[in-house]
Amino acid sequence: MGLFNSISSIFRGRDAPTDRTSGSAYSFFMGGSTSGKRVNERTAMQMTAVYSCVRILSEAVAGLPLQFYRYTADGGKEKAVDHPLYFLLHDEPNPEMTSFVFRETLMTHLLLWGNAYSQIIRNARGEIIALYPLMPDRMTVNRDGDGQLYYEYNMSTDDAHTLKGATVRLQPHDVLHIPGLGFDGLVGYSPIAMAKNAIGMAIACEEYGAKFFANGAAPSGVLEHPGTIKDPSRVRESWQSTFGGSVNANKVAVLEEGMKYTPISISPNEAQFLETRKFQIDEIARIFRVPPHMVGDLEKSSFSNIEQQSLEFVKYTLDPWVARWEQAMVRALLTPEEKKTYFFKFNVDGLLRGDYQSRMNGYATARQNGWMSANDIRELENLDRIPEEAGGDLYLINGNMTKLEDAGIFAAGASESTASEPEDTGQSRDKPPEQRKRGYS
């Protein structure tokens, strides 16, 4: 009976949950790591590799052209420039920031906290008039007694001076929520939290290197005296003030009274200090799936493969993030009726473009085979259109090409004409050429 009671309680909890979601319950556990260094979103950003990865991805998503389309009656698509959402997402989501800054901010939240939240402001008619970013570390995703999701946001004096420490409850239709990778499909987990030990080790290596140079870029050691020193702390402080610090590096030490300096530490080279730091940079780039050459590590990059690595960055790194953005915006910003007609699209074609010669060769193939016009090509190259009367919208093919079925008809006609000619008995060889050609006897 106890087993059945446990199972029934599980299903009751699933049907009517009252606790917060499992993803929302995840915490940093005070940010500690096995290296002994405190790791959170802000300390992690002090690492150059983390800062570089976050900046690369956030600026890449923010710099992509974001278009708002509608399906046309003929099965095509067109920009919905007359829809209010086009201006909000393409130009100004709110009066305080541009579209680039808005998307850069949300992408930074998504990379550091695993979630990006934005409050949706509507007018009295229910139309969206503004989008404002919300800090992920002050947002909690909960369920009510009926199992419905809601969002709780802790206000601060930075948000509104009239609300101090207040908690605002927002409904799902009032929040644009872009979750990252998570376990419950509702709330994403912070990549910084999940990889805090790797980042903590990188912070520890960086701090070790800084202290190494601060202590004179020389191994620590022991000062030996043949007798007894009455005040060893004074001798230690005198030695540190004279030879400690990078400004005192390589000074010549003069030892008196038979003192002897004995180093007790191995050099950073022998400890593979630089190799460890380089590996941690690769480790952080691996967390964000950023090619090493984009964070300044060109050891495994060359002119022959760096373009391919850039294409892989678009396909395997940017595309999943772009898909999260597009689907989250469709879910939160469009009505059920609008979802049948409208859609959002990030244009990544510019990042997939090859060099000039490769593009021209591809355009030539498309033009000669009839599936691109001159204006199609000029639009991709950001050139002005050729007027329609001048042939800018014509689709052309090579004149020496024909359909296979037409070639078969021609061959059949040729064989029939050959069969209708009389058999040559050899007597016509003596006749004039024009008579032999016409089959005269």
pLDDT tens per residue across span 69-85: 999 888 788 889 999 99
Q: Which residues contact 65 (CB under 8 A, 6 or more apart)?
A: 346, 347, 350
DSSP symbols for 329-376: HHHHHS-TTGGGTEEEEE--HHHH---HHHHHHHHHHHHHTTS--HHH
Query: What is the model's pLDDT at position 10?
Result: 42
Lowest-confidence segment of 38-42, 327-331, 408-412 by average pLDDT: 408-412
Query: What is the model's pLDDT at position 313?
Result: 86
Query: What is the model's pLDDT at position 163?
Result: 53
Rounded distance between C-alpha atoms, residue 203 and residue 144, angstroms: 41
pLDDT(268) > 50: yes
**Is the CB of residue 171 less than 8 Å from the CB of residue 6?**
no
Using CB atoms within 10 Å of the CB of residue 179, give its burial: 0 to 12 exposed, 13 to 18 middle, 19+ buried. Answer: buried
Select from 83, 40, 160 the least CA-distant residue to 335.
Answer: 83
pLDDT(18) > 50: no
pLDDT tens per residue across span 307-353: 777 788 888 889 999 999 999 999 999 999 999 999 999 988 767 66
pTM, whole model, 2 decimals? Answer: 0.69
What CA dihedral angle connects 47, 53, 59 and 61, to 10 degrees? -140
Query: What is the model's pLDDT at position 216?
Result: 56
Query: What is the model's pLDDT at position 414?
Result: 55
Rounded distance between C-alpha atoms, residue 125 and residue 129, angstroms: 10
Q: What percent of the chain has pLDDT over 90?
A: 26
Query: What is the model's pLDDT at position 371?
Result: 83
pLDDT(361) > 60: yes
Q: Look over the chain and give the mean of its residue pLDDT values, rounded to a whole number.
A: 76
Lowest-confidence segment of 99-113, 184-198, 237-251, 395-409 by average pLDDT: 237-251
Query: What is the model's pLDDT at position 131?
Result: 95
Q: Which residue has the higher pLDDT, 276 or 284?
A: 284
Query: What is the model's pLDDT at position 3?
Result: 47
Tokens 């992408």, residue located: 107
Query: What is the model's pLDDT at position 206?
Result: 76
Domain boundaries, the chain: 13-218+269-352, 220-264, 404-438
Q: Could you tell me the pLDDT band of residue 389, with boundaries at 50, 70 and 90? A: confident
